[in-house]
Amino acid sequence: MAEPSKESTAPDKGIYSSFDTFLKQGIKEYYDRSWTTRRGNFIALLIASGSTSFALAKDSVVDGQGAKKVAIGAGVAILLRVGLKYALGGPLGLVMSVAAGASMIAYFIRNQKDIVAKVTKYKASIADVSKRYEEIQTGWRDGKHQITDRNLMVDGLMKQFITTVDEA
C-alpha cells in the first residue's frame, strides 16, 4: 500500500528528504526573515540546532548559493558553543579572536541571559518538531498519507516551527 504514495517525480527533495534538511531550511528562512530584527533569536536557534549549524555552514560554502552570511553566522555559533565551554573555565579571548563574528559575539555577550534562556526553549521545540516530522514521514512511508498530503503537512510544520521561534 505504501508504493502508490511514492510515485511522484521528486518525493524526497528539499525539506521532505530528511529532518536535517528541514531544519537547515528553517534556519535559512528564519535568517532571511528575522536576522536584522531578532538577532538574539537567531543566535539561540543556531546554538540550539547544534551540529546542524555546522552542516548548514558547510553546505552554504560548498554549494555557493549566496548564503555566506548564514554560513558565517552558523560557523560563529559553533565557535560560540565551543567558546562558551572555554569562557566558563577561562580564556574568553579564544571566542573574541574570531573577527568575522565580532558583532554576533558582542550581541551574544550583551544579551547572554536572554539567549541562553531561549536555547533551552528552542532545543525543546526542535525535538518536538523532529518527532512530528518523523511521524509525518512514517505515515507517508506506511501509505497513510499521499505525497501531496505529506508535503502540505511538512510545509505547515515549517510555518509552525518558524512561528514558534519568532514567539519565543
pTM above the 0.75 mark? no
Q: Convert the pLDDT of each residue in 26-77 to its tens digit.
A: 988 888 888 778 888 888 888 888 756 555 555 554 555 544 555 556 566 6
pLDDT at 115 over 50: yes
Query: How many residues does this entry show for the chain?
Result: 168
- For the record, the C-alpha cell of 57 comes out as 555552514
CB atoms within 10 A of CB 56: 27
What is the arithmetic mean of pLDDT over 137-162?
95
* Contacts with 166 (C-beta within 8 Å, 6 or more apart), sequence order: 30, 34, 38, 41
Question: In the chain, what percentage of residues exceed pLDDT 70?
Answer: 61
Range of lowest pLDDT (21-25, 58-62, 154-158) = 58-62
Query: Which pLDDT score is estimated for 38?
Result: 85
Exposure string of 74-112, with b = 16+ CB inside 10 Å and e = fewer, is: bbbbbbbbebbeebeeeeeeebeebeebeebbebbeeee
